[in-house]
Structure 1
Amino acid sequence: MQTVTAPIPLVRPAGEEAREAPQATDAASTHSPYDALPTNREISKALRAARKERRRIERGEVRRFTKRSRRRRLAWLAAAGVVALLVLGVAGVAVSPLLALRHIEITGASRLDAADIRAKLGDQLGTPLPMLDQAAISSDLAAFPLIRSYSLESHPPDTLVVRIEERQPVGVIQKGSVFTLVDAAKVPISSSQTRPEGYPLVTAAGGSAETDADSAFAAAAGVLSALPPTVLAQVDTISAKTKDDVSFTLRGSGATVVWGSAEDSDLKAADLTALLAGASGANRYDVSSPHSVTTG
């Protein structure tokens, strides 16, 4: 036979329950609303994180807004680098022995000896073409009075072409027993004890048109330069005391041509050509007034 023991409920006096209730209320009232706020340390950490994030965003925005300018700057830098390389390359080639002068070609020389000109310019051999001494070349060529003008052409890798324009003689000036062939600038070309054939003997004072445009010689030289080759070949002597009284004689017939001044020389030359063809036996041709020519 089992014995069952039932729990006996604990019955507290009414006074004890009343005493415990206020204690629970007092515990809840001790928690303040400020207890949920973050600490200073947590706030500092959050601020540092915020500043770091802001800097990251600002850098991103700067990169985004300066992307085009950075690309442009990179393009300019790349172009400048290419140009610098090209300049250095050209400069390197320019001073290299690959472009050293080894051959000098002379063109346009007929009265002058091309070998003499090459020898005079020989001090330039071995110099790179871009570094040739232009002043020295000019000084060397000035030693040849027959050279009226010249031009230089560099033909890489090693050739210099010198194109010569020689002075063209227009007449002969006699001084004592010496005959000097001169050009229109009155520059002596050659001298001899005998009169050169094929050129008129000029008797006119003064300098060339380059030094004295109103001189008698300038007028005579201007007339000779205006004559067509067929007529110029017939001129034996030409004289002038002033710029307005140029006249000359013709070979063979000894006829005299009264020209006057050098003005309207082209028209006078055409008139004289027609007169020589139509009145070849005349002793005197006066074309000083081109609109009223006469023969005699």
Structure 2
Amino acid sequence: MRRPSPLPRTPVAERAVIDETAPIEPLWFDEETARRSDETAPVLPTATDAVTAEDDRVGVRDVWAAARARRRTLRAEVRRFTARQRRRRTVWLAVGVALAALILGTLGAAYSPLFAVEEVRVVGASTLDAAAVEAALDDQLGRPLPLVDSSEVKAALVAFPLVESYAIEARPPHELIIRIVERTPIGSVRSAAGWTLVDAAGVALSTTPDAPGGHPTLKITGGVGSKAFHAAGTVFRALPDDIRGQVTAISATTANDVTLTLGATDTTIVWGNADDSARKAIVLAQTMLSLPPSEVDTYDVSSPAAVVVR
């Protein structure tokens, strides 16, 4: 009788897998074992969990919404941190607008009839007839002060030889002031028309048939354009007022031999050239205090360090 064939043997690895995946359940049952089995059992997804996972997926609209929210947040932060700068900019803008409005308003008012010239007043005229100068400037009446034409004023004053220089001053709202510096005549020279009163620059101020009183007569070699005349004019202007009023004649053949004559006593003052005229005038005034012209025939101040009196 044949023996039956033995059953094939199960490999060890397969037995181990079987052991791990199919644990042997005990025949007895208690609550503690059931609880532990529930805790270790894998959690399978339910239908509700599937819906939630589907809702959690992020779409393009969600990204755009998040980006917009982020930009709004950034703008809010920027506005918050730049609030002081914006306030400062607003203040400066308001100041600039107010200043521009003020300037425009001022210019508009200045060039309007509100500031038109209603009176022309001449200041500084002594020998010159101020009323005649004002009448010559009547064409400036009615013009706004900023539109006063200086060239027209100059053309009107050229007709007055005594005017050496002038300045125009606008005094709102309606007054135009002309400040004049008159030429200082130094004497009269003989001419074909009579006697011509001239200043230190040789400008003819007036001409009369006879020598005008109160001014010295000039005997200058070379005429009003010579160096001798220039030296004589410099000397006369350097004299103190009290001595200048006593001079009745000035003569010079060159720039180095200017001579003055005091008419009341016929005293001669030898001046020499025009160099150091201010010092010579001081020395002469001091000498005349101690030795008046009535006691002196000649004062020689050509060398101010050593005055000679004869």
Pair in the same fold by TM > 0.5: yes
Q: Work out the CA distance in 2 between the residues paired with 1:64 and 1:107.
A: 65
Structure 2, unaligned runs of 5 or more: 1-43
Candidates 197, 221, 229, aligned match of 1:217: 229
Aligned-partner Cα distance in 1 for 2:84–2:222: 75
Q: How does 1:64-143 map to 2 (within 5 A)?
A: 64-143=80-159
Report deviation, 1:152.
2.1
When residues 185 and 34 of structure 1 are mapped into structure 2, their CA distance, relative to the original with a 3 A threshold, is same
* Structure 1 residue ranges without an equivalent (≥5): 1-27
Q: 1:237 aligns with which of 223, 236, 249?
A: 249
Q: Identify if the C-alpha distance between structure 1 residues 274 and 67 changes in structure 2 by more than 3 Å, giving closer, same or farther.
A: closer
1:246 partnered with 2:255: no
Deviates more, 1:187-196 or 1:30-39: 30-39
Question: 1:295–1:47: structure 2 CA closer, same or farther, 3 Å change rule?
Answer: closer
What TM-score, normalized to structure 1? 0.80
Could you tell me which residue of structure 2 aligns to residue 153 of structure 1? 169
Task: Give the TM-score normalised by the residue count of structure 2.
Answer: 0.76
Distance in 2 separating the partners of 1:204 and 1:275: 27
Q: Secondary structure at the match of 1:69?
A: helix
How many positions carry a matched residue from both structures? 265
Q: Counterpart of 1:295?
A: 309
Q: Structure 2 vs 1, CA of residues 255 and 78 (structure 1 numbering), >3 Å: closer, same or farther?
A: same
Distance in 1, matches of 2:135 and 2:72, equals 77
1:255 to 250, 267, 284: 267
CA shift for structure 1 position 165: 1.6
- Which shifted more, 196-205 or 249-258? 249-258
Sort the Cα spacing of 1:41 and 1:239 in 2 relative to 1 into closer, same or farther, 3 A.
Answer: same
Is residue 206–residue 218 contact of structure 1 (8 Å, CA) maintained in 2? Answer: no
Residues of 2 paired with 1:162 and 1:112: CA distance?
A: 13
User: Do 2:236 and 2:244's aligned partners in 1 also have CA atoms closer than 8 Å?
Assistant: yes
RMSD: 2.6
Tell me by how many angstroms 1:78 deviates: 0.7
Task: State the Cα distance separating 1:30 from its structure 2 match.
Answer: 8.7
Whole-angstrom CA distance in 1 between matches of 2:161 and 2:304: 37
Give the corresponding residue for 2:65.
49
- Please give the residue correspondences for 1:122-201 in structure 2 after superposition, counting only pairs within 5 Å: 122-176=138-192, 178-201=194-217
Aligned mates of 2:242, 2:71 — CA distance in 1: 96
Aligned partners of 2:264, 2:100: CA distance in 1, in Å? 73
- C-alpha change, 1:253 and 1:114, in structure 2 (3 Å) is closer
CA 1:177–1:61 in 2, change beyond 3 Å: closer, same or farther?
closer
Secondary structure of the equivalent of 2:152? helix
Query: Structure 1 stretches (4+) deviating beyond 6 angstroms?
Result: none
Aligned sequence identity (%): 43
Question: 1:194, CA displacement in angstroms?
Answer: 0.2
Larger-Rg structure: 2
Q: Distance in 2 between matches of 1:32 and 1:164?
A: 108
